[in-house]
């Protein structure tokens, strides 16, 4: 219309004049095409399963289907219903909530069963917020509408396949099983994995080796590698054993007796009138009658007294507390050995740090170092 007017005449604000004329034309407004679409307002993302669900009814092969979709996991649940009234709908939703818990929000269209007082009271009593999409605006509840299309497509494909099904419910269960265990292009995970927090077993997942069996094989490999040079030790209660000392002592093994079996390799052992918790790696069977504690104590004292300390000459003993008078002379020979032996017996824990047999002489020449002359007249 604007181009036709400009072809024959022109005047200021001609476009605005034509637009106002058309807007005031009643026949033009009654037959006008659809208005442009507004900007999309997406639903907020859900942070956990069953936080927001979308529901809708579908009809296929003279059967009514109640379709529920979780917005977080994209999981679809379909129930065969004999009636689409509010009472039947509440009955099927109650069964679903018993499995997955109560949602925070539920989105539906403006169907009569979703706006009845019985339906609203059921959700109000359970603390569920209901949202109804605008009438005849399918995009507002697009998740449910898309689920209806997906379910119908899967059921039609199964009806055309060569596989035999017992009944309609068998086809429906098979379709839902395939859908729930197929990764979504949005989440890149299967709906069942997001909903149940684990990957359910299918015929495809069983092709791969089980994670537990793989871990068991690795554990068996480690066990066989560790036990390649190991020996088996069996101990019973009241068995006489030798217990390994965990300290740096002259006696490496102590006599003991098994008092209790804790596990396959751990035992409670009585050693020197004390009970110790010992691993079997630190135990040996006693082939002879072990001496009693009193005789063993005497034997240990004899072992400690036979410690030989080498005789040294001109020894430096910083760790031994030996008092030497300034004017006292130490004679070479046995007196030095006696002094060192007495010092060692009084202080066993203080080792001799260093022995020097002869004084160390330095053969490197020394240079004369003179302090610099500052603030002096060079001349």
Report field, pTM of the whole predicted structure over 0.75? no
Residue 231 lies in a domain: no
Q: Tell which of 258, 288, 318 closes a domain.
A: 288
d(CA 179, CA 154): 9
One domain, residues 9 and 64: no
Query: What domain range includes position 26?
Result: 1-31
Q: What is the pLDDT of residue 333?
A: 44
Residue 9 lies in a domain: yes
What is the tally of structural domains in the chain? 3
Closest to 76 in 3D by CA, of 145, 146, 147, 130: 147
CATH number (domain holding residue 264): 2.30.30
CB neighbour list of residue 110: distance below 8 Å, 6 or more residues apart? 132, 133, 134, 135
In what side-by-side order are the strands of the sheet with 283-285? Answer: 274-279, 266-271, 253-261, 240-244, 283-285
d(CA 302, CA 89): 93
- 126 near 93, Cβ under 8 Å? no
Closest to 150 in 3D by CA, of 69, 29, 219, 86: 69
One domain, residues 139 and 16: no
Strand, coil or helix: what is 60?
A: strand
Please count the CA atoms within 13 angstroms of the CA of 299 that sit on its side-chain side: 13
- 140 near 134, Cβ under 8 Å? yes
Instruction: Quickly list H helices, the chain.
Output: 2-6, 14-23, 26-30, 86-100, 112-115, 117-125, 142-160, 168-180, 191-196, 211-226, 293-305, 334-346
Per-residue tens of pLDDT for the chain, all 379 residues: 888 888 888 889 889 988 888 888 888 787 777 777 666 667 788 889 999 999 999 999 999 999 999 999 999 999 999 999 999 999 999 999 999 999 999 999 888 889 899 999 999 999 999 988 877 777 778 888 889 999 999 999 988 888 888 899 999 999 999 999 999 888 899 999 999 988 888 888 777 655 566 777 778 878 787 777 666 677 888 888 988 887 767 778 888 999 999 888 889 999 888 899 988 888 888 877 654 555 555 555 555 555 454 444 444 444 444 444 444 444 444 444 454 445 444 444 444 444 444 555 567 777 888 888 777 665 5
One domain, residues 59 and 114: yes
Instruction: Indicate the pairing of strand 105-108 with strand 52-60.
Output: parallel
CATH number (domain holding residue 123): 3.30.420.10
């Amino acid at each position: 219309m604007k181009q036709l007017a400009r072809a024959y005449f022109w005047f200021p604000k001609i476009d605005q004049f034509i637009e106002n004329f058309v807007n005031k034309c009643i026949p033009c407004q009654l037959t006008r095409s659809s208005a442009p679409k507004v900007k999309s307002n997406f639903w907020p993302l859900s942070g956990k399963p069953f936080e927001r669900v979308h529901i809708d009814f579908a009809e296929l092969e003279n059967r009514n289907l109640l379709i529920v979709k979780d917005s977080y996991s994209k999981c679809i649940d379909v129930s065969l219903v004999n009636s689409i009234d509010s009472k039947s709908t509440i009955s099927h939703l109650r069964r679903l909530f018993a499995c997955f818990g109560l949602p925070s929000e539920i989105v539906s269209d403006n169907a009569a069963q979703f706006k009845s007082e019985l339906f609203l009271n059921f959700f109000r009593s359970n603390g569920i917020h209901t949202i109804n999409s605008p009438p005849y605006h399918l995009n507002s509840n697009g998740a449910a509408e898309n689920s209806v299309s997906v379910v119908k497509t899967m059921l039609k494909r199964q009806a055309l396949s060569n596989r035999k099904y017992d009944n309609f419910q068998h086809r429906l269960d098979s379709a839902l099983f395939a859908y729930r265990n197929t990764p979504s292009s949005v989440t890149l995970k299967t709906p069942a994995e997001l909903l149940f927090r684990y990957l359910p077993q299918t015929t495809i997942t069983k092709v791969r080796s089980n994670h537990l069996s793989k871990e068991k094989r690795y554990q068996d490999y480690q066990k066989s590698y560790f036990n390649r040079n190991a020996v088996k030790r069996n101990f019973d209660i009241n068995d006489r054993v030798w217990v390994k000392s965990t300290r740096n002592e002259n006696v490496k093994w102590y006599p003991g007796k098994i008092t209790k079996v804790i596990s396959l390799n751990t035992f409670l052992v009585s050693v020197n009138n004390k009970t110790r918790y010992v691993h079997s790696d630190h135990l040996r069977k006693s082939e002879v009658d072990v001496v009693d504690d009193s005789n063993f104590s005497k034997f240990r004292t004899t072992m400690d007294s036979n410690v030989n300390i080498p005789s040294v000459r001109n020894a430096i003993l910083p760790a031994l507390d030996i008092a030497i008078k300034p004017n006292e002379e130490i004679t070479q020979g046995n007196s030095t050995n006696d002094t060192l032996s007495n010092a060692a017996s009084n202080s066993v824990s203080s080792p001799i740090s260093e022995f020097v047999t002869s004084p160390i002489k330095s053969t490197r020449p020394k240079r004369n170092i003179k302090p610099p002359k500052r603030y002096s007249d060079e001349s």
